[in-house]
Amino acid sequence: MLKKPWEILLVLIIAISVLVSIIMGWQRVALERANRQLELALEYSEVERLSRWAGMETGEVLRLFQEKGVTGVLFKEDNLADLATRQVWVKTGTELLAEREGIGNLSAEIKSDYTYI
pLDDT of residue 95: 78
With a cut of 50, list the residues of the chain below it in pLDDT. Answer: none
pLDDT of residue 99: 74
- Give the separation between CA 94 and CA 19, rounded to whole angstroms: 71
pLDDT of residue 107: 52
pLDDT of residue 108: 61
**85 and 108 co-located in one domain:** yes
pLDDT of residue 77: 82
In a domain, 65, yes or no: yes
Domain that holds residue 45: 38-76
pLDDT of residue 73: 92
pLDDT of residue 61: 94
pLDDT of residue 12: 94
**59 and 87 co-located in one domain:** no
In a domain, 89, yes or no: yes
Q: What stretch of H or E contains 41? A: strand 41-43
- Domain count of the chain? 2
